[in-house]
Structure 1
Amino acid sequence: MSELRLYLLGIGILILLAIYFFGRKRHADSSHDVFANHQPDESSDPLTPTRRVPSMTNPGLFTGARSAPEEERLEPSLTEWDDPTEETEALPEPVELTDRVSEDELIGDPDLRVGEPLPELAGDTGAGATVPELASETGAGTPEAEPETPPPSETEPENIPEEPLAPIVVMYVVAKPDKPIPGAQALKAFHVHKLRFGPMDIFHRKVGSGSDAKIQFSIASMLKPGTLVPNEMSTRDLQGLSLFLKTDAVENPRQAYDDMLHVAQQLAYTLDAEVKDNTLLELTHEKIAAQRKMLDRLHA
């Protein structure tokens, strides 16, 4: 047993010595290798090991090189399947930019010819930019402006429609407030102005004699029923008298109007009353002139 122990002990000593000398030799060789500090990353893929970039803090490794930061970065390394002698794909050479293109660059644009300048980009307002001409004012795409209608001239008379002539012209002789017209005095004034009692139980002014006499205008009571019976007038008072002229029943409407106006003014004076128009307003000279103008046009 003791021999076996000594034998095993000797083998162990030889193994330790071999490990010691082999370790010193490897340490001496790695001191001259710039990649000696590389330690494989256990977390990485064993088929694609990575190498650590040597620290650049030692200025003796590379002459004139600047010192790099202390931190180390990982870079991919060549695997056993990578061929370091295989040529890598060369980077494309820089192309000089010009304003012209070659035939090889005319792919997809058959209308472009060699030697022609490149088309300008839209919105280019540089020195060489061409500005499209505006369409003509009377072009196809521009609607023609409608001519403005000139305003009517201020000097041109406006065509104001005149009021149609009423077939009957009316005026009133109205009693003053609190002064009614005595019927007896009104009957006497009718005889003075040759007003005769006749149809519709009212008085009329006639032209001519006998059966050929024609009514020029008529006079009635201003209040309904409008009758003026002579036997009743002597016992009653009147609030007013209504004089009316039928323009289509006389030969000369203007002459008949003037005759009626004259009788109305005389009755108003005799009976202490007032002459009013058809709206019971004062019959002014302007209204009289307007009525005469309409009657003249009717007789023309």
Structure 2
Amino acid sequence: MMQELRLVLIVLGALVIAALIIHGLWSSRKERPEKFGDKPLGKLKGEKQEDSTESFDDDGIGAVRVIKGGTDKPEAKQRKEPGLSFDESSESDIDPLFADFKDDIDTAVPSNNAATAESNTLGEVTDAVEVSSEVVTDPLPEEEVETAAPEPKQQVLIVNVQASANSDFNGVDLMNSLEQNGMIHGEMDIFHRHADLSGTGKVLFSAANMYNPGSFPMENISQFTTEGISFFMTLPCYGDPEHNFKLMLQTAQKVADQLGGLVTDDARNLMTPQRLDGYRDQVKSFSEPA
């Protein structure tokens, strides 16, 4: 769009200049015959003869010329050279053929100035746009994106308390032992150990029936029996995982002692020091900061 506007302005300017030149040449040609044709040739010759006869008397002696001090010099007639003229006399003699050009010239010159100013303004805007586009297209420094370390996969630690061979845990005795060790019956119909002993805090670990469906029927707890229960906690967990696991292991051991049971691992094998070390290693992997 800018290129087309500039081209139109250049063409208009060229037309205005051509009109001015044509007008000047036409006026110059018209003035030349008028300047030299005002006085006829015969009149010029007569005036020259009168001047020559008036310079001599009857005896043929010409008038004595008195030479003055030379201070007063006759004013030299200003010689008027034929050339381009734009005065009122020339304008009055303009050929009607070029009358339209005169009107166009008078109106086109100011519009040319306005168009030139507009072109300059548009040119500045274009330059500003080009500069801004260059700034925008400059490659921006890449921001360093800190990639968060992937969270460790959730794990479940299970410690079982099983009744001795050929025996079961009674429901009432089991419920009393769990409640004495801070376990509260709650969601999913199982027991939970909360961070707050009142049962309003976060759950640290839970205890469920070792056999399906895993719940404790509290409405018929006196008739309920089971061969074992499972203590379990999830990692990651609320609070300190090592402290929570230690508390769960102590609770399982107390319940086993009170009910005459055995503490076993997640595979229902007797707990050994080596298996305890394996549990602790799992817990430490969640305790260490990422």
TM-score, scaled to structure 2: 0.45
Larger RCO, structures 1/2 (Cα 8 Å, 6+ apart): 2
TM-score, scaled to structure 1: 0.43
